C-alpha cells in the first residue's frame, strides 16, 4: 500500500472516531491499516538510522579532509569554520554535499594526486640528463 493511501485511510478512520460515528467505522479496515502503518514505520525507522549513519560518515570525511588541509597549511581558521558548519542544525543535504565538494577541492589542491615529478615530466625538461645535475665526483 502506498504511503499516501495509508495516510488518507487513517485520516478517514480518525474522522469517524472524532465525529462519534462508531457505527460507520470498519474495524477490519482499521486493523489492516494499522498493520500497514506499523510495517511502514519500522521500515522508515530503519531508513532513518541508515541515513544518520551515512550523514555521519560524510561529516567525518569532511572533517578529516579539513583537518589535513589545516595541518598542511598551518591555518586552523578554515577547520573551525568547517566544524561549526557541520554542527549547524540548519545544514541540509544540499549544503552538506556542497561543503564536501569545496573541502574536497581544497584537499586535492593541497595534496595533488600525482607526484610533482610526474607533472614535471610532461614539460620540455626531458632533454636534461642526470649528469647535468651532478655537482661532485666520487
- Residue ranges of the chain with pLDDT lower than 70? 1, 114-138
Which residues span the domain enclosing 46?
3-112
Flag whether 95 is in a domain. yes
Question: Any residues with CB less than 8 A from the CB of 59 and at least 6 apart, and which?
Answer: 86, 96
Tens of pLDDT, residue by residue over 84-122, are 999 998 889 999 999 999 999 999 998 887 665 555 555
How many domains, the chain?
1
Q: Output the furthest CA–CA distance in the chain (Å, rounded).
A: 107
Flag whether 130 is in a domain. no
Q: What is the pTM of this model?
A: 0.64
Flag whether 57 is in a domain. yes
Flag whether 9 is in a domain. yes
Flag whether 14 is in a domain. yes
Flag whether 135 is in a domain. no
Q: Look at residues 77, 1, 59, 76 and name the one whose alpha carbon lies nearest to residue 33.
A: 1
Amino acid at each position: 500500500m502506498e504511503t499516501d493511501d495509508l495516510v488518507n485511510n487513517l485520516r478517514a478512520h480518525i474522522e469517524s472516531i472524532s465525529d462519534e460515528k462508531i457505527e460507520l467505522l470498519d474495524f477490519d479496515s482499521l486493523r489492516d491499516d494499522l498493520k500497514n502503518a506499523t510495517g511502514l514505520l519500522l521500515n522508515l525507522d530503519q531508513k532513518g538510522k541508515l541515513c544518520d549513519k551515512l550523514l555521519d560518515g560524510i561529516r567525518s570525511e569532511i572533517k578529516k579532509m579539513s583537518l589535513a588541509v589545516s595541518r598542511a597549511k598551518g591555518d586552523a581558521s578554515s577547520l573551525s569554520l568547517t566544524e561549526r558548519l557541520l554542527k549547524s542544525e540548519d545544514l541540509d543535504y544540499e549544503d552538506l554535499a556542497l561543503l564536501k565538494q569545496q573541502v574536497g577541492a581544497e584537499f586535492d589542491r593541497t595534496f595533488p594526486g600525482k607526484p610533482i615529478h610526474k607533472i614535471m615530466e610532461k614539460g620540455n625538461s626531458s632533454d636534461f640528463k642526470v649528469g647535468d645535475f651532478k655537482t661532485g665526483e666520487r
